Amino acid sequence: MTTIVDYMGGGFGAKFGLGVEGQAACEAALELKRPVHLMLTREDEFLTAGNRSGAVIQVRAGVAKDGTLTALQGEIQRLGGVGGGSFSGFPYIYKLRDEKGLHSSIRSVYTHFDAARAMRAPGHVQASFAIESALDELGYLAGVGALDIRKQNLTDQVYHRQLDRAAKEIGWEAHPNKLAPQERPDAAGTKTGIGFAISTWGGGGHEECRVRVAVGRDGSLTATVGTQDLGNGTRTYVAAIAAEEFGLPLEAATARIGNTSYGRANASGGSTTAASLAPAVKDAAFNAAKALREHLAKGLGRGAAELAFRGGSVVESSGGKALMTWKEACATLGSAGISADGEWRSELAGNGVHGAQAAKVQVDLSTGRVRVLKMVGVQDCGLPLNRTAVESQLNGGMIQALSYALHEERVLETGLGLMLNANFVDYKIAGCQEMPELVPLIDEEDIGRGVIGMAEPAIVPGHSAIANAIFNACGVRLRSLPFTPDKVLDGLALLAANGGAK
């Protein structure tokens, strides 16, 4: 069986395994001995193609006067339909200095809905919301504030650096209401707040990809591997790494991917593709360049080490004097050209990333509408292969988090056993009117490490930061997603009833 995926619009999850729909298509094709085109309806997508796991989490916690966590208890129920669901651990990232104060229990609650599948940062999004909400609340109660309570319970200095950077970019220093929600509304009847949250992810690679880089007599340069591009730029960096090795522009190289017959590659998941694939491409390109240098050295009567590829030419490695153009060099090859294979090299990949985000929101006290004004994402990713793509991943993560923070919800009718909104009118996704100013920042102090995937951490903290910003604005602590106007208005009404709102 060969799988062909030339282009995919965007792969964010609900993957791994064929699924019943894939099995049905395969069986139909075998039975009919003809190609079968499977296309799910929107409703099918919601009901049979996998969802993010839900979670119901109860947290009890206590802090010392300086904000140090002293006691933390979490009771986690994972909601994964007929599957077990996912949850990435408790507490998430933050640590107690004395672990004796920590207790948590996790169990799965099974329902008759479709099993949850891997969805961009499975388990992390839920875990983030629980701890970031609880810690934030304690930060205000203890009077240390939203930023310092986080740093107080993080020993890893990378988080301190990233939180400080996010705070600077969002305008925390000049923010008037750091230790309590805004007291009086602005003239327009709104209140403004800022919130923070952090993330973590692995993103490391492993030995699975085999890449072949080939140079043709016609000057063509091709990198071949049976991976696919999920829409995140794999095709671009496969070509770019090969081109760079030969001192050629990106457009001179072709990435042959999207076909399992092109050789083994890892399953794209867990943000492990870049760290698994890029080192193998580099290795293959390095080996092919070495072989080409050795071939050319013979003809030029020089040592291979005396030759280098630079600016579309073969040059002297010391001094850079041009000896022949790329085309002339390739014309000396036999009809088969030259090629070499490459495998994963652990020293070219890193593992483990952080991430800090901040959100600034405006809450309309009359309507309960939450408008996200600005989001800042600071992300380490080791060596960035393509800065534009990294920034796009960060933007995309913040946008997706904003969308499920403000709108997205599968409305499951418990009495009738129906999903009431399995369409894109009633299952609401943020549109252009919801988009804030987005500031994606690569943590430049981290680029000395090897390649690390960063697609998933980008989506983890956004909703938590928005929830915390809502509290910072108007004093309403929202404990369930999405943060819709009805919940904000109910929260404001409760505050007023308790004499807390102005």
280 binds other proteins (CB under 8 A): no
Contact between 485 and other proteins (CB under 8 A)?
yes
Q: How far is the CB of 26 from other proteins (least distance, A)?
A: 28
- DSSP-assigned letter for residue 34: S
* Closest distance to other proteins from the beta carbon of 35 (Å): 25
Q: How far is the CB of 87 from other proteins (least distance, A)?
A: 26
Give 155 or 366: the residue with its C-beta nearer to other proteins. 366
Q: Encoding tokens for residue 173?
A: 């220093």
Pattern 373-412, binding to other proteins, x per CB under 8 A?
---------------------------------xx---x-
Residue 484 binds other proteins, judged by CB under 8 A: yes
367 near other proteins, judged by CB under 8 A: yes
Rounded CA separation 443/225 (Å): 30
345 belongs to the binding site for other proteins (CB under 8 A): no
Nearest to 455 by CA among 402, 377, 349, 344: 377
Say whether residue 236 binds other proteins (CB under 8 A): no
Contact call for residues 453 and 273 (beta carbons, < 8 A) = yes
Report the C-alpha gap between 112 and 411 in whole angstroms: 14
In the complex, least distance from residue 449 CB atom to other proteins, rounded to whole angstroms: 39
CB of 486 to other proteins, least distance (A): 4
Find, among 100, 52, 49, 53, the residue nearest to 72 by Cα: 100
Q: Which C-beta is closer to other proteins: that of 347 or that of 486?
A: 486
Report the alpha-carbon distance of residue 438 to residue 280 in Å, rounded: 33
Euclidean distance between CA atoms 195 and 363, whole angstroms: 13
CB of 425 to other proteins, least distance (A): 8
Decide: helix, strand or coil at residue 279.
Answer: helix
Rounded Cα–Cα distance for residues 70 and 182 (Å)? 29
Q: How many residues bind other proteins (CB under 8 A)?
A: 27
- The Cα 501–Cα 17 span in angstroms is 51
Nearer to other proteins, 215 or 370 (CB): 370
Write down the least CB distance from residue 369 to other proteins, Å: 7
Q: Which of residues 426-445 bind other proteins (CB under 8 A)?
A: 426, 428, 430-434
The least CB distance from residue 495 to other proteins, in Å, is: 12
Please, which residue, 117 or 191, has the CB nearer to other proteins? 191
DSSP 308: E
Nearest to 467 by CA among 232, 88, 162, 197: 197
Closest to other proteins by CB, 336 or 416? 416
Residue number with CB closer to other proteins (336 or 497): 497
Q: Which of 327, 493, 500, 502 binds other proteins (CB under 8 A)?
A: 493
Residue 311 CB neighbours (<10 A): 12
Q: Are 304 and 293 in contact (CB under 8 A)?
A: yes
Q: Give the separation between CA 254 and CA 354, rounded to whole angstroms.
A: 33
Instruction: Tell me how crowded residue 32 is: count the other CB atoms within 10 A of its CB.
Output: 9
Contact window for other proteins (CB under 8 A) among 275-283, 330-338, 385-393, 417-425? 417-425
Torsion of CA 217, 221, 225, 229, to 10 degrees: -150
Taking the complex as a whole, the smallest distance from the CB of residue 366 to other proteins amounts, in Å, to: 4
CB 434 within 8 A of CB 402: yes
Going from the C-alpha of 277 to that of each of 165, 386, 451, 502, the distances in angstroms are 31, 14, 10, 56
Single out the residue of 10, 416, 497, 498 in contact with other proteins (rule: CB under 8 A). 416
Query: At its nearest, how many Å lie between other proteins and the CB of residue 427?
Result: 11
Kindly indicate which of the ranges 138-146, 219-227, 251-259, 360-368 contains the residues binding other proteins, using the contact rule CB under 8 A. 360-368
Query: Do 209 and 227 touch, CB atoms closer than 8 A?
Result: yes
Q: Counting Cβ atoms within 10 Å, is residue 345 exposed (0-12), middle (13-18) or buried (19+)?
A: middle
Quick one: how many helices (H) and strands (E) in the chain? 11, 16
CB of 49 to other proteins, least distance (A): 18
**Binding to other proteins by residue 112, rule CB under 8 A?**
no
Q: Does 66 bind other proteins (CB under 8 A)?
A: no
Stretch near other proteins under the rule CB under 8 A, chosen from 175-183, 259-267, 335-343, 363-371: 363-371
Which spans of this chain sit near other proteins (rule: CB under 8 A)? Answer: 366-369, 406-407, 411, 413, 415-416, 418, 420-421, 425-426, 428, 430-434, 484-486, 489-490, 493
